Amino acid sequence: MDDLLYELQQHFRQRGSAAYLVGGAVRDRLLGRPTVEVDLAVDGPALGVAQELADKWQGTAVDLDREHDTARLVLKHRPGRPEIDLKSIAGDLRADLLARDLTVNALALSLEHAARDDWRRFLIDPAGGRADLDRRELRWVTPEAPRRDPLRLIRVVRLSATLEMTIPGDTAARIRELAPTLTQAAPERIRDELFPLLGCPAAADHLVTCQSLGLLDPLWLLVSPEQRGEAAPNWTAGVGLAREVCALADNPGWVAGATRGDVRGWLEQRVAGSRRCREFLVWLALAEGACADTGLPGALTAVLNLSRRESRLAASVSATGLRLGSLLCAASVAGSQWLSFFREAGEAAPFCLLTAAARCTADRQDRVAWLFAQYFARTPLARPDPLLTGNDLLGRYPHLSGQQVGRLLRLLGDAHADGLVGTPAEALTFLAGTTLIEEAGEVVH
């Protein structure tokens, strides 16, 4: 990132115009954290400057907000695919900084001074952000700052989590006062602010903070009045289930050693965009726990404009959760019953299993751990490799219909899960005694 800042400095020096690092880039420098985001305030139209840099460095310029003259430069051919957000200096830089959300983000540093050893001497700090950084406190620049964008309310909690800073009483009071305005924000913007919080260590603690600040109730109000009726979520139960799920996900010692790596790897997989299984799991747990008595966890899950894949996963978790709970409580379960669950759950199975484990007693957690091992090992109980294919059956019994082939393969899968067959030869012998095969006619040798 230092090389990029140097190149930017040289570019604007040659251009003969001013450019400033602003916001999080300066804040993270002061905290000694790696600079992962670069925000620039530039002299001139932001999109024009972004396009100029894109042409020079083979990047892409994106118009983010024409009304507020902001643009993004994406350098996709560089390591890490860095992105630079640019905003035009609207006359007075200090006035622009004072229109920001938090004092710790109302900081600026000229690119000309960024490479100097004594760069701290040149900070532009009109709101006292450096002092608040030293105190580790998040304060509004002005009482009106959160009113300009309701997403700033959640952002305070996220920054508190990621920067390990406190939310002082006056900041918290303003959040509680304006929490109902969160419904004015676009659902996908709420999602993109909330999900990084769900991926933080101790995510359940941060959800407790959200609950105490009144930031969870507006999520329920995003559900249509026709769907929610007079029902109300139990956020305490939802946060409690999320806490149990986080504990199991963060410390998978309850599963067998070989499976722990599989669970950790699965949690880091992407579900959609930058959203990982970990964040989506916590969101599902929050919704399932909060809405268990309303019968509407799916309605809450869907309010954040999820992707099609996420919507399918959420629907599968809701549809198969009760059945899994019943199987876990049963004294004896046939292999074909477990296979039926895994078929129905599909790729949502790990979400179902972790959520169920969070609700289980210790002895039933052992059964869930065993099911995880079956799932990742692709055993006949969970994700079996077929002993025979549809082509195998049609080659031997050419008069079978497609529907009959499907029924036979399903029947064979159940037999495999129950331990009745284990080889292709045993599978053929087993199927030969079925009514469907008897009706299919002559065998082709």
> Is pLDDT larger for residue 115 or for residue 155?
155
Q: What is the pLDDT of residue 228?
A: 87
Helix (H) / strand (E) containing 19:
strand 19-22
Mean pLDDT of 310-328: 91
- Read off the pLDDT of residues 363-418 as tens digits, 9 standing for 90 and up: 889 999 999 999 999 998 888 788 899 999 888 888 888 888 999 998 988 888 88
Return the percentage of the chain with pLDDT > 90, whole number: 63
| Amino acid 367: pLDDT | 92
pTM of this prediction? 0.86
Name the β-bridge partners of 276. 270
pLDDT at 445: 43
CA distance 395 to 401: 12
What average pLDDT does this structure show over 199-215?
Answer: 95
Residue 294 has pLDDT above 60, yes or no: yes
DSSP 79: T
Let me know: does 203 contact 194? Beta carbons within 8 Å.
Answer: no
Q: How far apart are the first and last CA of the chain?
A: 68
Chain-wide mean pLDDT for the chain? Answer: 90
Confidence check: pLDDT of 444 > 90: no
User: What gap in Å lies between CA 50 and CA 72, rounded to an integer?
Assistant: 7
How far, in Å, are 114, 142, 143, 182, 210 from residue 148 at the CA level?
30, 11, 10, 11, 20
Q: What per-residue confidence (pLDDT) applies to 80?
A: 74
CA separation (Å) from 379 to 110, 262, 338?
60, 15, 11
Q: Read off the pLDDT of residues 80-124 as tens digits, 9 standing for 90 and up.
A: 778 899 999 877 899 889 999 999 999 999 999 988 889 999 999
pLDDT at 1: 61
Strands 38-42, 60-65: pairing is unpaired
pLDDT in tens, 133-145: 999 999 999 999 9
Dist CA 426 CA 390 (whole Å)? 16
Rg (CA), the chain: 28
Q: What is the mean pLDDT of residues 49-72?
A: 90
Q: pLDDT band for position 439 (50/70/90)?
A: low
8 A C-beta contact, residue 83 and residue 75: yes
- Taken in order of first residue, the domains within the chain and their CATH numbers are 1-135 (3.30.460.10), 136-215 (1.10.110.30), 222-377 (no CATH), 390-440 (no CATH)
Classify residue 323 as exposed, middle or buried by CB count within 10 Å of its CB (0-12, 13-18, 19+). middle
